[in-house]
Structure 1
Amino acid sequence: MADWKDKLPEAAQEYLEGRRLDEVECIISDLPGIARGKAVPASKFARQKHFHLPDSIFFQTITGDWGEAAGEEGFIERDMILKPDMTTATAAPWTGDWTLQVIHDAYDREDEPIPFSPRNVLKRVVELYRAKGLEPVVAPEMEFFLVARNLDPAKAIEPMMGRSGRPAAARQAYSMTAVDEFGPVIDDIYDFAEAQGFEIDGITQEGGAGQLEINLRHGDPVKLADEVFYFKRLIREAAIRHDCFATFMAKPIEDEPGSAMHIHHSIMDTETGKNVFVGPQGGETDAFYHFIGGLQKHLPSAIAVLAPYVNSYRRYVKDHAAPINLAWARDNRTTGIRVPLSPPEARRIENRLAGMDCNPYLGIAASLACGLLGLNEELRPDPQFRGDAYAGESDIPDVLGNALDVFEEAEALHGILGPEFARVFSIVKRAEYEEFLQVISPWEREHLLLNV
């Protein structure tokens, strides 16, 4: 047991210093990004090399129903072998006892990665880059709302009460006073993040009522996806401590902006360690333009992954702080693809289309996949856009059903993400979408009941 604990990451060792570890949560992300797994006594975890969960956790919709994605053998719920990645061991500081969380990877009986496990999908994409001598680097931005406790799904979501006793105000982007309203929640977010060994690059107030943004430092895509996966849980736990909810819905409140997970991309040459988007005199390279070209051509096929729910498409509203286009430009937040201001060595490309409701492993994998296709196909982007891109027409699917139609035809994208993942994802999302279509909304009852 002592040897096992000595190999833990530094932050986990510091968290447990002088304390007795009680429990380990063995977790894995399902398709929506929910943590699934088992909690085991620490003494048992020290003795086990793996544990089992049925593969059916990846066939489940967000509502708990099932897509018929089990394959030819039928729905027999075959056990997967889940192995811990001890580099992900981190505290669960909101628990009543001393608990660690450890992310696991899923394998079959032949020790092959389960192809529709989201973390495995991202690992597959990263390995395709490495096979070309490239190392992808990402930096995600996380937007979310702190809202009043909502116990009745029929009731509209409302902003939380700030410490002043007034509801969180909208249209206060970058206001430090607005951030202060959530001070106690933010303090716990910082404390939880520190206990887990995560470095926050900054917290700002966004444009929505009770909407915040957390930026993370750039790094390895799998590591950053792990952090977003962990962050969603720790932010929810911090909010609950203060009688409010944290939500990562793309569009939780009418007439307010939605929440995005902007993804910044750069690519390093494995041999030289230099950014391949930067030429000898600091200029922009062919790889820079090819990556943008790949995003422009293939992002429509990936929208179902970046915007995976019916609510996701309510975020894509013209002039509401979300892109509806595939234009690219330097330092222009109205375009779907933005090149931020930076010195040449830090040149990066920002995908602004992904919603915060996407699974972080799948969202980052899909974005990287589109860029990789651009590199492989040596695609050239459209000319840089000038002006307000919101003035144009939408370049992306406008409802989940249409997005799935495009995704299902995208053989090139399936080749990067994995055909078996594409098959399972499509079946599960179709089942979810068809379930939604059976729901009669308040709008329909209000306007159609007596008028048609």
Structure 2
Amino acid sequence: MHEFLDKLPETAQAYLKGRTLDEVECIVSDLAGIARGKAMPGAKFAKQSHFYLPNSIFFQTITGDWADAAPDGFTEPDMILTPDFDTATPAPWTADWTLQVIHNIDDQQGRPVPYAPRNVLKRVEALYNAKGWQPIVAPEMEFFLVAPNTDPGQAIKPPMGRSGRPAAARQAYSMSAVDEYGPVIDDIYDFAEAQGLEIDGILQEGGAGQIELNLRHGDPVRLADEIFFYKRLIREAAHRHGCYATFMAKPIEGEPGSAMHIHHSVVDAETGANIFSAADGAETPAFGHFISGMQRHLPSVIALLAPYVNSYRRYVPDFAAPINLEWGRDNRTTGIRIPISDPGARRVENRLPGMDCNPYLGIAASLACGYLGLTERLDTGPEYTGDAYDADDAIPRGLDAALELFTANTAMAEVLHPDFARVYAAVKALEYKEFLQVISPWEREHLLLNV
């Protein structure tokens, strides 16, 4: 046991100091970003080097159905999962002493499973590294705290604040609005500290009960791991206080949606210099190439950035969700924003991803667009200086159309991996087919007696 404990990060070792490890949750992310895996006693985990899961966990839709996506028939061969000890972190909401450990996923020949989301992001990062570059990202997380909703037929409502009133909308950046659900925020901070996760800031967003959490910049895989952990700890903090946390893109009608904005920069792996800035501080051609790659390729990865039918309800003009591919400096109406910064921190913000996307796939898709721009050396269009909501729509407005663009972009499939592209398209097509079988309240209200 002691040899295993020595492999853990300092935060996990401090958490267990003087205590007995009761349980280890061996987890991976499926296509939806749900944690899958096994829980086992700490003593058993310490004695084994790996465990197995069937590859079918990546062929399952969000409703639990199975897509016909297996390469050799639905035989469900085992994958080999080995612990990535750098990811070991406490699960501080449990009644006993529990660790969570994200696992690497390989097939039985030792090759990375191509449709495992974490492997997709690792593949994209490796393409950058092969060019002598290191991508840096800084994600933003938006989510809603909502009243408990046990009946899917009922609309989602804001939570009750400490004042006894429902959380109010249109209170962006209000500190008193954050105080309304302060106990939940306190637990989020406490859980994050126990897990060794650093929060850059928390603020009230524009929706009723909507919160934004900012993360510090860093390595893409590490930041995606953190979002994967954050989603779980935020849900647990909410449950403690009688409400739900939801990462749906558009949970409440008439309120803004929740985004996962991603800031990107790229540094020279040897010098650490930002390749978007020249020695004199001026913008480099690489900066323009990265932007142009996003403008050209983002439409084909909207299926990853907006992965559900609900995702497209977020793309509403003049509602804090750009639906264009324009770029502009300090312009939040553009899909691609260039924040104010000094040359060393020059970066590109992609404002199109929804918070419902799998963090590994959302970051991988966004970086893939920039990579293709850098390697294809594409020229960017002119900066947009006005209200970009007046610009033409430039992204697909539904999952079906988004999947068509995704499957047509062979260059993107090569970057992400053709097998991943095939499996993802099959799973999402089945989800869309399942959705079309459901008759909505709108249809019953307006069509039942009128058509």
TM-score, structure 1 normalization: 0.99
Matches within 5 A, 1:30-179: 30-71=30-71, 73-179=72-178
User: Amino acid of the residue matched to residue 91 of structure 1?
Assistant: P
Match of 2:273 in 1: 274
Match of 2:395 in 1: 396
Match of 1:337 in 2: 336
User: Amino acid of the residue matched to residue 266 of structure 1?
Assistant: S
User: Amino acid of the residue matched to residue 179 of structure 2?
Assistant: D
Residues 182-212 of structure 1: CA distance to partner in whole angstroms, max 9, x if unpaired?
Answer: 1000000000000000000000000000000
Match of 1:200 in 2: 199
Q: How far 1:377 moved relative to its partner?
A: 0.4
Match of 1:304 in 2: 303
SS of the aligned residue for 2:211 comes to: strand
Residues 239-281 of structure 1: CA distance to partner in whole angstroms, max 9, x if unpaired?
Answer: 0000000000000000100000000000010111100001111
CA distance in 2 between partners of 1:214 and 1:17 (Å): 30
CA distance in 2 between partners of 1:338 and 1:239 (Å): 32
Match of 1:328 in 2: 327
| Corresponding position: 1:375 with 2:374 | yes
User: Amino acid of the residue matched to residue 262 of structure 2?
Assistant: I
SS of the aligned residue for 1:102 comes to: strand
Q: How far 1:4 moved relative to its partner?
A: 1.2
User: Amino acid of the residue matched to residue 22 of structure 1?
Assistant: D
CA distance in 1 between partners of 2:268 and 2:354 (Å): 29
SS of the aligned residue for 1:338 comes to: strand
SS of the aligned residue for 2:80 comes to: strand
Q: How far 1:393 moved relative to its partner?
A: 2.4
Q: How far 1:391 moved relative to its partner?
A: 1.6
% identical equivalent positions: 72
SS of the aligned residue for 1:104 comes to: strand
User: Amino acid of the residue matched to residue 59 of structure 2?
Assistant: F
Q: How far 1:96 moved relative to its partner?
A: 0.6
User: Amino acid of the residue matched to residue 336 of structure 2?
Assistant: I
Residues 303-323 of structure 1: CA distance to partner in whole angstroms, max 9, x if unpaired?
Answer: 000000000000000011101
Match of 1:21 in 2: 21
Match of 1:260 in 2: 259
CA distance in 2 between partners of 1:110 and 1:284 (Å): 45
CA distance in 2 between partners of 1:57 and 1:163 (Å): 41
Residues 16-66 of structure 1: CA distance to partner in whole angstroms, max 9, x if unpaired?
Answer: 111111000000000000000000000000011110000000000000001
Which segments of 5 or more consecutive residues in structure 2 lack a partner in the other structure? none
CA distance in 1 between partners of 2:157 and 2:130 (Å): 48
Q: How far 1:394 moved relative to its partner?
A: 1.1
Which segments of 5 or more consecutive residues in structure 1 lack a partner in the other structure? none
User: Amino acid of the residue matched to residue 438 of structure 1?
Assistant: Q
Residues 133-156 of structure 1: CA distance to partner in whole angstroms, max 9, x if unpaired?
Answer: 000000000000000000000000
CA distance in 2 between partners of 1:369 and 1:321 (Å): 24
Match of 2:432 in 1: 433
Q: How far 1:294 moved relative to its partner?
A: 0.1
SS of the aligned residue for 2:265 comes to: strand
User: Amino acid of the residue matched to residue 7 of structure 1?
Assistant: K
Q: How far 1:8 moved relative to its partner?
A: 0.7
| Corresponding position: 1:420 with 2:419 | yes
SS of the aligned residue for 1:80 comes to: strand
CA distance in 2 between partners of 1:322 and 1:14 (Å): 42
User: Amino acid of the residue matched to residue 366 of structure 1?
Assistant: A
Match of 1:11 in 2: 11
Q: Cα RMSD over matched residues?
A: 0.5
Match of 1:190 in 2: 189
Q: How far 1:104 moved relative to its partner?
A: 0.5
CA distance in 2 between partners of 1:356 and 1:152 (Å): 23
Residues 338-386 of structure 1: CA distance to partner in whole angstroms, max 9, x if unpaired?
Answer: 0001111111100000000000000000000000000010011110001
User: Amino acid of the residue matched to residue 7 of structure 2?
Assistant: K
CA distance in 2 between partners of 1:105 and 1:166 (Å): 46
SS of the aligned residue for 1:236 comes to: helix
CA distance in 2 between partners of 1:380 and 1:295 (Å): 11
CA distance in 1 between partners of 2:341 and 2:19 (Å): 44
Match of 1:180 in 2: 179
SS of the aligned residue for 1:45 comes to: helix
SS of the aligned residue for 1:342 comes to: coil
CA distance in 2 between partners of 1:80 and 1:243 (Å): 38
Q: How far 1:392 moved relative to its partner?
A: 2.1
CA distance in 1 between partners of 2:2 and 2:64 (Å): 40
Match of 1:283 in 2: 282
SS of the aligned residue for 2:43 comes to: helix
Residues 287-306 of structure 1: CA distance to partner in whole angstroms, max 9, x if unpaired?
Answer: 10000000000000000000
SS of the aligned residue for 1:385 comes to: coil
Residues 375-426 of structure 1: CA distance to partner in whole angstroms, max 9, x if unpaired?
Answer: 0100111100011001222100000000001101010100100000000000
CA distance in 1 between partners of 2:49 and 2:315 (Å): 45
SS of the aligned residue for 2:173 comes to: coil
User: Amino acid of the residue matched to residue 260 of structure 2?
Assistant: M
CA distance in 1 between partners of 2:355 and 2:49 (Å): 33
SS of the aligned residue for 2:200 comes to: strand
